Structures are given as structure tokens and as C-alpha cells.
Amino acid sequence: MAGGMGWGIRGQYGHETGAMIAGLLVSLTLVFLMCPHAALLPAARAVAFGTIAIGFGGSMTYGQTVGLTQNAPVIGNWEALRWGMLGLAIKGGIWIGFAGLFLGMGLGSVRYRAREILVLMLGMLALYWIGLWVLNRPFDPANKILPRIYFSASWHWQPEASVAELKPRPECWGGLLFALLGAWVWAGWIRGDRLARNLALWGMIGGLGFPIGQSIQAFHAWNPEVFKTGIWVTLNPVMNWWNWMETTFGTVMGACLGLGLWLNRNRIGETRDAEQSQWEPALGWILLCLHVTLLVLGEFEFVGWMHKLYDPGLILGFLPMMAVAGGRWWPFLMALPITAIPIAGKTIQSLVYETHAIGTAPGWLLYGVLPVTLTTVVAIWFARQLRGELSGREFARRALLLCAWLYFGLNFAFFRFPWPWVKWTGRTPNALWFTICVVGLTMACLTVGRQTQRSGQAATLA
């Protein structure tokens, strides 16, 4: 439910920061379900690692890869379908492989220092550029020169198309693949972190959710006659097949990461973490101000060159990864307000400035000020509990309850409030499924582990 709803919501917000919604919800769910004895700080750090890492794959272009399986010029072309599905499997595996790797690094028994994360991120950036050069170059569409392994629109599938019609897009999956493999080898073998090593593999398997989800959408495109009879006469006009592809992808992704962590639950690390911050609090706040400023300037393209500089996933995650590893407050700030800021901003951008669905003052208050203020206050409250008795599971329980409803609510507004009792639109079926998911997550938060908690309190009193 966390993966399906999170990735389905991501479809409205896109790219690296949109993917972080799914990373956050899935990471919180897994910590809540499978780490009942985790201490507060390592639990929050694992959630933050998983949230940041799933954003790395957001740099990859995939719209034209999807197009190879369903666009009109290639319908009936089984070779194009197979190639497109292979591309989606590779890109999906890279995308979720990062999430599994870093979530495992946060949950395992190996402790990663900020200095190590700094070196790791620098190494990943170097490998990224090498992989880009090896697998994703040359790229010169003006002269019809494309990489040898290329999963976007090419003249191989449409030999008569012009450059303007085809619009080939530069791919970066090769660079990210090199970065992922390098980090996987370093964490899994050099540092001996078997949980990170294994969970990365399960993340790569979870990436198969991409072609699995797209199979639904491609079937619809290839077989339109099926959807002209029976119940589909009513449902098909209001089905957003692209969003159902995304929702299916997220569901498979969450299930695979959950199964992988459950099978490796004996490798989850120690339950206590009495460590102090690795640096002075002032440095953490400086990094916070720097990252949020660059994030806002780049995400909303207030400065054109800043968007190009700070948009790629590995660059976007550089400062946060290091800060989460080294600071005590950063894991909570990353999981809550920092993840919420771009989502709140895009909601305001759509509802206030693009569609004028709500006035400027109420729009900013409801979709900007309140979400960011609430998540900031809650993050600070969690951080102040580090000296108290709050467990990692209780952090995950409460944060999951808050975040599930927060992102469900923002997305519901983005969907223009598709209540099921009014005329259905292309948003209504997905909104109904997201409602089932958020209710299911709420029921889990309110019930799972409560009996054990009450029994423990009773024993303490006795």
C-alpha cells in the first residue's frame, strides 16, 4: 500500500523529489513493521537514507521507453515491445536498487560515518561520468548518432522520422548503473554489509514492477477492442492507465523490498545507538540552509543554471546523505519538512498559479505554510526525544501516519477533489485506490504492535 500509493502520487509531482514520497512511505513502513526494537536515531537515519536514495533514479528519462511499448507507430511491433520492456526493467532495477542499498545501509549493523559517505558519494559521481561515457555516449541526434544501447525513440524503430518528429532524449541509466554497482561492491563486500548487499538485489528485483505495470498500459494500447464491451464501456473513459502503471510499479516495488527485508531480518543491526553527533550543530544548520536554498531555486527553476546544476539525483542527494550520516537532527528534518517542501511547492504551483483553482493567500496557507510548518514542528519534536524513551518503531508509526495523510491530502487536492459521488474523471479510480491504501496504512499504524507495547508497559508497572 505504501509503495503503490507513494509511487502513484509521485506521478503527479515527478522526477527525483516526487520519487522521495514513495521512498519515505515504504521506508517508514518497513522500519515500523520489521524493526520493533530499533532505537530512534538509527531508525530515522535508515528512513532518511531510503528516502534520499530513491530520488537518484529520478534523473533517468523513461517516457520514450514507455512509448516503445505502446505508441501508435510501434503497436504490433513485438521487437520494439520487448526492447522497451527490457529498458524499463533495467531502469526500474537501477532506480529501486539504490533505495534497497541505502535502506539496508541504514538498517544494518555497519555504521557509516559522514566522512565515509562523503567519499562514497564522490566515488559514485566519478563512476556516474564513466558509465555515462561508456554506455550513454555518443549522443548527436542532429547527425542521427545515438548510443549503441539506447532505450528511447530512435531511427531503428521509425527510420523515416525527422529529428523534430523523433526528438531523441539523452539517457543516463549507464552512469547510474556504474554508480550503483560501485556503491554495492563497496558496501556489500569492502564494508561487509550483507543486509545492504542483499536488499539492493531485492530492490533490483522490485524494479521489475516497471515493466509489469507497463504491461497493463501496453495491453490497453494494443487491444482497444477489449475495452469496448462490458464494464469497460463505463470505466475505460475514466481510467488513467499511465497512473495505474505507476501505481502497479510502486506496489511491486514495496512488496519486493518488504519481502527482501523480511528474509534478511536477522541481519538488521543493533537496537541501541547512544552515539553523539559527528559534528557541531551549527554545521548541520548551515548545510540545511544551503540545501533547501539550492533545492527551491533548482526545483522551481527560479535560476535556470541552478536547475541544471542541482537537479540530477546524485547531486541533489550529495549534501543530504552526508548530513544525515553526521547529524542528529538531519534524519528527522530530511524525512519530514525537506521532503515535503518541493511537493507543497508543486501543489501550490498547480492549484494557485496554473489552474487558479484557489486564491493565492488560502492556497499558500493550506498547501504550503501549514504542511511545512507541521512537518518542521514534528521533526523538531522527534529530534528532542533522542534523550527520551521514544523508540524507532514509535517514530515510524507516528511519522507514517502523518506522512501518509499529508501526501494523500496534497495529491487529493492536486486531483481537484475527485469525490466518488460526483461525476467521475480520470482521477477518480486512482483516488479511490489511494483512499484504500491510506486507510489500510492508518489501520496498521493504530493496531500493529500495540498489544506488545501494552504488555511491556504492564510488565514495567508490575
For the segment 262-280, what is each residue's pLDDT rounded down to a tens digit?
999 999 986 555 455 566 6
Residue 15 confidence (pLDDT): 82
Report d(CA 58, CA 98) in Å as an integer.
11
3-state secondary structure 388-452: CCCCHHHHHHHHHHHHHHHHHHHHHHHCCCCCCCCCCCCCHHHHHHHHHHHHHHHHHHHHCCHHH
Higher-confidence residue of 190 and 298: namely 190
Q: What's the DSSP call for residue 140?
A: B
pLDDT, averaged across the chain:
92
Mean pLDDT of 49-60: 95
Cell numbers at residue 254, please? 514495496
Report d(CA 198, CA 1) in Å as an integer.
23
pLDDT tier, 459 (very low <50, low <70, confident <90, very high otherwise): very low
Q: What are phi and psi of 17, to 5 degrees?
A: -70, -30
Residue 456 confidence (pLDDT): 52
Mean pLDDT of 340-345: 96
pLDDT tier, 96 (very low <50, low <70, confident <90, very high otherwise): very high
Report d(CA 311, CA 447) in Å as an integer.
40
pLDDT tier, 104 (very low <50, low <70, confident <90, very high otherwise): very high
Q: Which of 35-39, 81-85, 449-453 has the highest mean pLDDT?
A: 81-85
Residue 307 confidence (pLDDT): 67
> Measured in Å, how far apart are the chain's first and last C-alpha atoms?
38
Mean pLDDT of 54-73: 94
Q: What is the per-residue DSSP string for 52-67?
A: HHTTGGGGS--HHHHH
Mean pLDDT of 164-182: 95
Cell numbers at residue 320, please? 543530504
Is 90 exceeded by the pLDDT of residue 449?
no
pLDDT tier, 298 (very low <50, low <70, confident <90, very high otherwise): confident
Q: Are 219 and 121 in contact (CB under 8 A)?
A: no
Per-residue burial over 336-367, b = 16 or more CB atoms within 10 Å of its CB, e = otherwise: bbbbbbbbbbbbbbbbbeeeeebeeeebeebb
Is 70 exceeded by the pLDDT of residue 455?
no
Residue 54 confidence (pLDDT): 96
Is 70 exceeded by the pLDDT of residue 78?
yes
Is 80 exceeded by the pLDDT of residue 403?
yes
Domain ranges of the chain: 2-136+171-456
Please report the sign of the dihedral spanned by the C-alpha atoms of residue 13, residue 16, residue 17, residue 19. positive
pLDDT in tens, 207-263: 999 999 999 999 999 999 999 999 999 999 999 999 999 999 999 999 999 999 999
Residue 310 confidence (pLDDT): 75
Mean pLDDT of 123-138: 97
Report d(CA 14, CA 174) in Å as an integer.
21
Share of the chain above pLDDT 70, in %: 94
